[in-house]
Amino acid sequence: MFDLLREKMKSGNDILHVRQQFEQMFTEYYTELVVYVNTYTKDTPSAEDIVQEMFCNLWDKRESHRVHTSIRAFLFRSARNAVLNYLTRTRQITVKLSEQLADELLFQDDMEIARRDTLLYALIERLPEQRKRIFKLCFFDDLKYAEVASRLGISVNTVKTQMGRAMAELRETAGELLLLFLLKK
């Protein structure tokens, strides 16, 4: 067909006649090509767009195409290549969007964690001095009550009492933030 169109153009037939033949080819194969492309895309509007774009590209490059098979085979091969290009572009875009969304979610999570931790550290700093010191040694330094008592020169019961009071105070002011903080540790 393209060879025939090219010959007609060379032989002096006007572009209007060539265009009519191209439109006839479009009308004849369009629906069949859309159905074929849709088997890959599973999206009829996208399949229609791909086939239309393919025909536009064929028209734009009509003088350079060499068809060595039947027009039908040429069009189906062109449609297959067009849909593969589309799927490659779409997959790359989808992967990039997924990565970007994941990065944004991680950033939001990190910001939320940082905000929560800052709030809890501020609440810990408001504890009375000895209670704060005991809490930090037990919680952040992972010392056992006996080790904290020995280090501070106080009884194990004092450490237990101060830790209980610190936890109660933090639970009262921080609520579920404290649980999240403790689970993170």
Per-residue tokens: 18: 């060539």
What is the reported pLDDT for 139?
A: 81
Q: 16 with 69, same domain? A: yes
CB distance 152 to 134 below 8 Å = yes
Q: 24 with 89, same domain? A: yes
Q: 135 with 179, same domain? A: yes
Tell me if 119 is assigned to some domain: no
- The CATH number of whichever domain residue 66 belongs to comes to 1.10.1740.10
Tell me if 105 is assigned to some domain: no
Q: 90 with 50, same domain? A: yes
Tell me if 74 is assigned to some domain: yes
Query: How do the pLDDT tens digits run along the chain, 185 residues long?
Result: 445 544 443 444 566 777 888 888 889 999 999 998 888 888 899 999 999 999 888 888 777 656 666 788 888 888 888 888 888 888 766 777 677 767 776 777 677 777 777 888 888 898 999 999 998 898 888 899 999 999 999 999 999 999 999 888 888 877 766 655 555 55
What is the reported pLDDT for 144?
A: 93
Helix, strand, coil percentages in the chain from 3-state DSSP, rounded to 5: 85, 0, 15
Domain that holds residue 142: 126-184
Tell me if 103 is assigned to some domain: no
Q: Which amino acid is at 56?
A: C
Tell me if 120 is assigned to some domain: no
Length of the chain: 185
- The CATH number of whichever domain residue 172 belongs to comes to 1.10.10.10
Domain count, the chain: 2
Last residue of a domain, one of 56, 76, 96: 96
* Phi and psi torsions of 53, nearest 5°: -65, -40
Tell me if 6 is assigned to some domain: yes
Q: 14 with 81, same domain? A: yes
CB distance 67 to 5 below 8 Å = no
What CA–CA distance (Å, rounded) separates 172 from 121? 15
Q: 12 with 75, same domain? A: yes
